[in-house]
Amino acid sequence: MNHKILIAPVVLGLLGGCAAAPRQPTINAVAAPASASMAPYQWTLGNSAKAHKDMVAAFGRVGLKPNEYLWAGAVPATGDSRVIVDRLTQMAYAYKGDVLVGAASVSTASRGRVTPLGEWKVLDKRPFYRSKKYNNAPMPFMQRIDEYGIALHGGPNPGYPASHGCIRLPMKFAEKLYALTRVGSKVVIEG
Residue 37 has pLDDT above 60, yes or no: no
Q: Which 3 state secondary structure label does DSSP give 53?
A: helix
**Contact yes or no for 62/139 (Cβ under 8 A):** no
pLDDT of residue 106: 98
Give me the percent of the chain exceeding a pLDDT of 70.
Answer: 80
For the chain, which residues make up each domain, given as ranges?
47-190
Confidence band for 16, pLDDT divided at 50, 70 and 90: very low
CATH (residue range 47-190): 2.40.440.10
What pLDDT, on a 0 to 100 scale, did the predictor assign at position 32? 39
- Reported as a single tens digit per residue, the pLDDT across 70-102 is 999 999 999 999 999 999 999 999 999 999 999
140 within 8 A of 122, measured Cβ to Cβ: no
Question: What's residue 25's pLDDT?
Answer: 47
Condensed to tens digits (0 to 9), the pLDDT of residues 165-190 reads: 999 999 999 999 999 999 999 999 99
| Nearest C-alpha neighbor of 10 from the set 131, 189, 170 | 189
List all residues 6 or more positions away from 153 whose beta carbon is below 8 Å from its beta carbon: 17, 129, 139, 140, 141, 142, 143, 166, 167, 168, 169, 174
- Give pTM, 2 decimals: 0.81
pLDDT exceeds 70 at position 10: no
pLDDT at residue 29 in the model: 38
